[in-house]
Structure 1
Amino acid sequence: MEATSSVKEREHLYRLIVSQLRYDGYESAASNLARNFSAYPPCAPSSRLSHLVRLGNQMEGEASKPDHSDVLSHISGRGIMDLEFESDEKIMSPPAHRHELGYVTSHKGPVLCSNFSHDGRLVATGSADMSIRILDVDRMATKSTVGQQDPHPVIRTLYDHSDAILSLSFHPTVSVLASGSRDNFIKFFDYSKPSVKRAYRSVIEVASVRCLTFHPSGDYILVGTEQSTCERNK
């Protein structure tokens, strides 16, 4: 039982090392190590190992400090409150979810918004560089698969705004992506056509479009701008 636990701990350590190497850009070293211990599922880029080492160093530093617990006990015994007293009350909050950071692609400017398609297969990102990128989620997940050629996850790059993209929304039933921008325009893109990079329809607003979302039926779109009204468009 202990041997099995030790093997699992070692495998977990190796996975952390592979993820850290990929996060730091050492793909060749990461691939070689992952191949040697047959890593499955693939190890996504992550800085978790670096974070754990940092925490360990902090704990070692704390352990080397003088222990004043006897002094505190003596003081608290004289009727003075011990500020380090821990109550027996248990915290019932759920454990924090663990998320791993994976680098997939980048814009030329800050990414200001993103949106998943309703089936979860696509994700769109909008940037201050005035471009929109649509990515395939499955390709994102397999981008770091060992021994496999990387299929680029970006399947569409769209351009038709003259200022930063502030909001995105996928149509629930057809291959249409709506975008809102600081240029006061709402744009509608048909991303089913690989060669088309421009919007097939534009709607001008009186102010920057801060947020928008399609109705579940797809018949309406709700738009919020920097003016003091909220509009429903059909």
Structure 2
Amino acid sequence: MDNYEVRNRLYRLIVSQLTFDGFAKEAESLSTHLNIVPKCVPSTELMSIVGNHMNSADKIVKKVSGLDLDISYDELSQIFSPEPSKYRNVYFTTHKGSVNTAVFNKSGNLIATGSMDGCVKIVDYDRLKIRSAVAEGQSQNETNPVIRIFYDGG
């Protein structure tokens, strides 16, 4: 379907839903304004499509929430953090592709980084702090903060 057909189908669904919900005047006005011919039959198809989409989105959220990663976003929250120049790097982990996401779990002790190369690395923040405190010359292998790496097989 091209863009015009998709848009026309959407408008017809909106007019049908408005008519079904008892907004006949509004549906007629919109139909006239958009020059929708023939007239749309009252229908709940739009509500059904939106409901199915919301159900599938809820299932995805439930699957992701099992990982104990907080991916929610609060638009009203304000971020109070220092300027980037004030941060001190204590550890580097590399990805083959550019990193496009990083998230802490709810308790704040794990960090997951994901990249365009299809790789997700889980970093233990407590080990990261220990590693930064280890004196130079000591072996840091036992304090490697990367505890798990997941690869996309695709």
Per the TM superposition, whether the score is higher than 0.5 is no
Q: Which has the higher strand share?
A: 1
Kindly indicate which of the two structures has a greater share of residues assigned to helix.
2
**Under a length normalisation based on structure 2, what TM-score does the superposition of the two structures give?**
0.39
Q: Which has the higher contact order (CA 8 A, sep 6+)?
A: 2
